[in-house]
């Protein structure tokens, strides 16, 4: 590849190729699961559509072989997407640097970085070609303990996963289907793995094959709702999935986004109403970046309290999964940072979600977010900014006032719950620290007490405009 190629055109071509490879990989993974479903049905009882004898064995074997082949193709496509996003971006930056130097003073551009980046990209793509040609058999690859090799550090996971070839990735994915919930893998890979797990969990609920006895009705409801929500828009990515009815869904691939907004919903939220959380997160993205380069993430990674009484009586649900939010954010930062372009990340905690957000940042390891926005907060789980930490590229530091913002209406009664001390102090007060933004609607009076808490993300409101302004202002 010659440095003479236009840098803008090169970068655009690499981005497009990576996106297409990721999309093809995700779709083929779905096809592989379809084939596996066929094989399972063929293996059922004759009266239920199963086949017996040699014909049945041959049909089941061919379906299973086709599924294995599809998974190999899917893994290679996802590998290519990952390589193009990371190594391709490095090549595009090198070409851009060479072009800028040549434009300033012809003959001064250094082509060595371009050649080096091009060589690495070609070498990694050759790995995919070897896998597709069958020159590397995943079954012959040595066993790798991803967790033991990285100590579950998302930054180490991201680095190691990127170094692995498609054969190693295929074996790990085959032997460890739970990899879809491992922070540090690319979002496209996690989506493909988690969709397969979701379909198998749904099959298990339908067949009554649930470990531990009776299938909880609410779990079956939530998983079914999640599947329907994903089906509505193929761009959505399933970043995390737990069999107890918790999940994390992005509106698109966050790894290549120019901006990411993660919304932690509040009381009463679940996968059954993921559409509402997604709409609110999407509204923030739209307000911050009308051009559409922002990815909205609905983080239903905790068991939210069912009602106001349970939410107001304990911060336990927030602390129970605060570590999960911290791990998710660190993984997002680790993967996205591999290409050398750090996209801003805003974490938004709404209502009881604010308690989760504050609890996640209370660990000295810090939360990987460029801005923490508490909307209608009843408290941040802790008493002051002194107990909030930020993770910057794997390095923790104490949070400062500009890292934490409280957004509230004067007519919202929820923030006043902080006087009980159950959920900690709310951000933006003199006692806590941080910034405060008043988003009381013009002309609002006492009647707004009934609606103020539920309108923060409504189109055309002062609150949504201000939240969007805060997110767009992150450098």
List the end-to-end C-alpha distance of the chain, in Å, as a whole number: 33
Q: Is the pLDDT of residue 243 over 90?
A: no
393 within some domain: yes
CA separation, residue 157 to residues 11, 163, 185, 186 (Å): 26, 10, 7, 10
187 within some domain: no
The alpha carbon torsion through 432, 436, 441, 445 (nearest 10 deg) reads 40
Strands 435-438 and 395-398: unpaired
CA separation, residue 275 to residues 6, 140, 457 (Å): 42, 44, 14
Residues in the chain: 475
CA separation, residue 104 to residues 93, 100, 101 (Å): 17, 6, 5
Q: How many domains, the chain?
A: 2
Please, which residues bridge with residue 246 across strands?
242
> Can you tell me the distance from the alpha carbon of 253 to that of 85, in angstroms, rounded to the nearest whole number?
12
460 within some domain: yes
136, 240: one domain: no
Q: What is the pLDDT of residues 351-381, one digit of tens each?
A: 999 999 999 999 999 999 999 999 999 999 9
131, 241: one domain: no
Prediction pTM value: 0.89
138, 252: one domain: no
135, 255: one domain: no
Please, which residues bridge with residue 263 across strands?
298, 348
**CATH number where 377 lies:** 3.40.50
pLDDT at residue 7 in the model: 82
93 within some domain: yes
pLDDT top residue among 102 and 470:
470
434 within some domain: yes
309, 402: one domain: yes
pLDDT at residue 144 in the model: 72
Least confident of 177-181, 251-255, 275-279, 454-458: 177-181
DSSP 454: G
CA separation, residue 69 to residues 100, 273, 401 (Å): 45, 36, 53
Q: What is the pLDDT of residues 386-415, one digit of tens each?
A: 999 999 988 999 999 999 999 999 999 999
Tokens of 94: 């090198």
- Own/partner contacts of 219-228, CB < 8 Å, gap of 24 or more, are 219/243, 219/244, 219/245, 221/272, 222/270, 222/271, 222/272, 223/198, 223/271, 225/271, 225/272, 225/273, 225/274, 226/198, 226/271, 226/274, 227/198, 227/199, 227/202
- DSSP state string for 267-296: TT--GGGHHHHHHHHHHHHHHH-TTS-EEE
269, 126: one domain: no
- Residue from 375, 373, 382 nearest 402 by CA: 373
> Can you tell me the distance from the alpha carbon of 175 to that of 115, in angstroms, rounded to the nearest whole number?
37
pLDDT at residue 218 in the model: 81
Average pLDDT, the chain: 89
Q: What angle do CA 262, 387, 322 make, to 5 degrees?
A: 40
Please check whether residue 315 is in contact with residue 378, taking contact to mean a CB–CB distance below 8 angstroms.
no
> Mean pLDDT, to the nearest integer, of 305-327?
89
- Single residue among 144, 168, 189 that ends a domain in this structure: 144
The burial class, CB within 10 Å (0-12 / 13-18 / 19+), for 19 is middle
Q: Specify the residue for token string 């969990």.
A: 201
pLDDT at residue 1 in the model: 45
113, 236: one domain: no
> Can you tell me the distance from the alpha carbon of 223 to that of 266, in angstroms, rounded to the nearest whole number?
19
Q: Which sign, positive or negative, has the C-alpha torsion 268, 272, 276, 277?
A: positive
Q: Is the pLDDT of residue 288 over 90?
A: yes
273, 379: one domain: yes
156 within some domain: no
CA atoms lying within 13 Å on the CB side of residue 307 = 1
238, 135: one domain: no
> Can you tell me the distance from the alpha carbon of 396 to that of 388, in angstroms, rounded to the nearest whole number?
10
134, 235: one domain: no
136, 235: one domain: no
Q: What is the pLDDT of residues 6-20, one digit of tens each?
A: 788 888 999 999 999
pLDDT at residue 341 in the model: 78
Q: Residue 147: left if φ>0, alpha if ψ -120 to 50, beta else—which one? A: alpha
242, 134: one domain: no
Phi/psi for 354 (5° steps) reads -65, -35
Q: Is 451 helix (H, G, I), strand (E, B) or coil?
A: coil
Range of the domain at 457: 221-472
pLDDT top residue among 213 and 435:
435
Q: Residue 428: left if φ>0, alpha if ψ -120 to 50, beta else—which one? A: left
Q: Is the pLDDT of residue 426 over 90?
A: yes
- Residue from 118, 67, 123 nearest 94 by CA: 118
> Can you tell me the distance from the alpha carbon of 396 to that of 361, in angstroms, rounded to the nearest whole number?
10
- Single residue among 89, 113, 144 that ends a domain in this structure: 144
pLDDT top residue among 364 and 75:
364
154 within some domain: no
413 within some domain: yes
- Single residue among 144, 167, 185 that ends a domain in this structure: 144
Strands 246-250 and 389-392: unpaired
């Amino acid at each position: 590849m010659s440095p003479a190629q236009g840098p803008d055109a090169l970068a655009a071509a690499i981005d497009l190729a990576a996106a297409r490879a990721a999309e093809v990989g995700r779709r083929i993974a779905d096809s592989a699961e379809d084939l596996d479903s066929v094989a399972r049905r063929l293996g059922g009882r004759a009266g239920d559509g199963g086949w017996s004898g040699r014909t049945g064995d041959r049909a089941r074997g061919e379906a299973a072989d086709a599924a294995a082949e599809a998974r190999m193709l899917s893994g290679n496509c996802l590998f290519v997407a990952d390589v193009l996003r990371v190594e391709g971006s490095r090549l595009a930056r090198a070409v851009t640097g060479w072009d800028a130097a040549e434009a300033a003073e012809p003959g001064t551009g250094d082509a060595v970085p371009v050649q080096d980046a091009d060589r690495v990209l070609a070498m990694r793509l050759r790995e995919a070609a070897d896998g597709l040609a069958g020159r590397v058999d995943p079954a012959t690859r040595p066993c790798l303990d991803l967790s033991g090799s990285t100590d579950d550090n998302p930054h180490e996971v991201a680095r190691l996963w990127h170094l692995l070839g498609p054969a190693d990735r295929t074996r790990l994915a085959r032997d460890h289907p739970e990899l879809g919930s491992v922070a540090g893998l690319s979002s496209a890979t996690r989506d493909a793995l988690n969709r397969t797990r979701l379909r198998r969990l749904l099959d298990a609920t339908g067949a009554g094959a649930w470990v531990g006895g009776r299938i909880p009705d609410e779990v079956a409801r939530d998983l079914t709702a999640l599947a329907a929500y994903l089906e509505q828009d193929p761009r959505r990515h399933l970043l995390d999935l737990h069999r107890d009815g918790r999940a994390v869904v992005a509106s698109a691939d966050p790894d290549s986004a120019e901006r990411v907004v993660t919304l932690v919903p509040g009381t009463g939220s679940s996968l059954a109403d993921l559409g509402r959380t997604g709409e609110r997160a999407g509204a923030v993205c739209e307000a911050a970046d009308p051009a559409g380069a922002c990815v909205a993430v609905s983080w239903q990674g905790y068991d939210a309290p069912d009602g106001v009484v349970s939410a107001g009586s304990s911060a336990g649900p927030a602390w129970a999964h605060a570590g999960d939010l911290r791990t998710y954010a660190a993984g997002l930062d680790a993967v996205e940072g591999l290409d050398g372009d750090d996209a801003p990340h805003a974490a938004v905690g709404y209502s009881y979600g604010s308690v989760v957000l504050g609890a996640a940042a209370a660990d000295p390891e810090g939360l990987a977010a460029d801005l923490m926005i508490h909307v209608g907060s009843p408290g941040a789980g802790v008493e002051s900014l002194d107990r909030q930490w930020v993770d910057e590229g794997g390095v923790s530091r104490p949070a400062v006032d500009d890292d934490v913002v409280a957004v509230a209406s004067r007519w919202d009664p929820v923030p006043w719950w902080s006087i009980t001390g159950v959920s900690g102090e709310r951000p933006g007060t003199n006692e806590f620290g941080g910034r405060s933004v008043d988003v009381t609607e013009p002309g609002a009076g006492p009647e707004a007490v009934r609606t103020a808490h539920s309108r923060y993300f409504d189109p055309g409101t002062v609150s949504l405009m201000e939240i969007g302004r805060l997110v767009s202002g992150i450098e």
